[in-house]
């Protein structure tokens, strides 16, 4: 049994007995891990903000091979992001990125690019203008899927590599655009608007960190539905992005409001 140290993002936390917690974290050096934090439910807890969802923390834990749960020795908060985000829209988008990691990623293999992508996305959720947060989340969804081996193909037919149809036919099951021939044969296809396709290709190819700087997506709703279908098709545990439902409920209930887009920090 080795004692090891790494940093990570807290994904979710739940109670274990009267005094302890189980913490799921995506770590830089050890992939997805679940820790037992003894005494974490006592107040004040010796762990402070280190075990709050969205926090970036340093974890010291006892690593036991072939165990699903690892005993946490120490945790120290490096960035308590959840406590800094007061805007509900920012919070919902930041939580959406945790939800995606929890649903799409599995196993204890480290994946440095994926960890960096998550860090960049959370920074975007804190800093990007509120109107561009949809772009940040969509970019994360597509780039996370790409890192896991499911990069949507937009440059040629996803089935046979022929030139794509001018009708912009996307197949979630095939994972990309189709040529005219395949478009006529495949079921369950979606015809994209020109704006949605342009945004799709932009956010797939640019760094997540840039998404908030240049994209206020004209067809974000359409793109969310396409990406949702695509992810459901390839990731069994993905059942739609629940974290953003709270925003839809609010938008339906309230009249459009003028929002300050630089309200954080």
| List of residues contacting Zn ion (CB under 5 A) | 157, 159-160, 162, 179, 182
Contact yes or no for 159/178 (Cβ under 8 A): yes
The Cα angle at residue 26 between residues 136 and 123, in degrees rounded to 5: 30
**Residue 177 and residue 169: Cα distance in Å, rounded?**
6
E strand segments, the chain? 2-16, 20-27, 31-37, 56-63, 69-79, 169-171, 176-177, 190-191
Identity of the residue, 39 or 188, whose beta carbon is nearer to Zn ion in the bound complex: 188
Identity of the residue, 56 or 153, whose beta carbon is nearer to Zn ion in the bound complex: 153
Torsion of CA 212, 203, 223, 103, to 10 degrees: -90
Identity of the residue, 72 or 157, whose beta carbon is nearer to Zn ion in the bound complex: 157
Question: In the complex, what is the shortest distance from the CB of residue 57 to Zn ion, in angstroms, rounded to a whole number?
Answer: 47
CA Rg value for the chain: 20
Identity of the residue, 126 or 179, whose beta carbon is nearer to Zn ion in the bound complex: 179
Question: In the complex, what is the shortest distance from the CB of residue 188 to Zn ion, in angstroms, rounded to a whole number?
Answer: 15
Identity of the residue, 123 or 156, whose beta carbon is nearer to Zn ion in the bound complex: 156
* Token pair 């887009």: residue: 261
Question: In the complex, what is the shortest distance from the CB of residue 149 to Zn ion, in angstroms, rounded to a whole number?
Answer: 21
Question: In the complex, what is the shortest distance from the CB of residue 181 to Zn ion, in angstroms, rounded to a whole number?
Answer: 5
Identity of the residue, 139 or 157, whose beta carbon is nearer to Zn ion in the bound complex: 157
Question: In the complex, what is the shortest distance from the CB of residue 124 to Zn ion, in angstroms, rounded to a whole number?
Answer: 35
Q: Strand pairing of 31-37 and 69-79?
A: parallel
**Residue 96 and residue 105: Cα distance in Å, rounded?**
14
Contact yes or no for 126/81 (Cβ under 8 A): yes
Which residues face 8 on adjacent strands? 27, 57
Question: In the complex, what is the shortest distance from the CB of residue 241 to Zn ion, in angstroms, rounded to a whole number?
Answer: 30
């Amino acid at each position: 049994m080795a004692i090891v140290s790494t940093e990570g993002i807290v994904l979710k936390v739940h109670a274990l007995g009267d005094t302890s917690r189980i913490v799921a974290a995506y770590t830089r050096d050890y992939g997805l891990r679940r820790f037992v934090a003894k005494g974490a439910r006592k107040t004040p807890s010796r762990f402070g903000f280190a075990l709050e969802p969205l926090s970036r923390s340093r974890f010291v834990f006892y690593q036991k091979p072939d165990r699903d749960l690892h005993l946490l020795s120490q945790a120290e908060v490096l960035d308590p992001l959840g406590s800094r985000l007061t805007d509900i829209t920012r919070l919902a988008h930041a939580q959406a990125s945790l939800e995606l990691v929890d649903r799409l990623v599995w196993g204890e293999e480290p994946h440095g690019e994926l960890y960096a992508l998550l860090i960049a996305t959370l920074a975007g959720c804190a800093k990007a203008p509120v109107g561009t947060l949809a772009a940040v989340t969509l970019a994360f969804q597509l780039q996370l899927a790409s890192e896991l081996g499911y990069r949507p193909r937009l440059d040629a037919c996803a089935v046979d590599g022929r030139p794509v149809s001018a009708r912009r036919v996307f197949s979630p099951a095939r994972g990309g655009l189709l040529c005219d021939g395949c478009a006529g044969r495949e079921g369950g296809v979606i015809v994209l608007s020109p704006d949605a396709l342009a945004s799709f290709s932009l956010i797939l190819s640019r760094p997540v960190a840039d998404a908030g700087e240049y994209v206020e997506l004209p067809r974000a709703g359409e793109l969310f539905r396409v990406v949702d279908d695509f992810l459901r098709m390839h990731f069994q545990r993905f059942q739609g992005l629940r974290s953003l439902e709270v925003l839809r409920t609010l938008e339906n209930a309230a009249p459009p409001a003028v929002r300050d887009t630089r309200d954080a920090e």
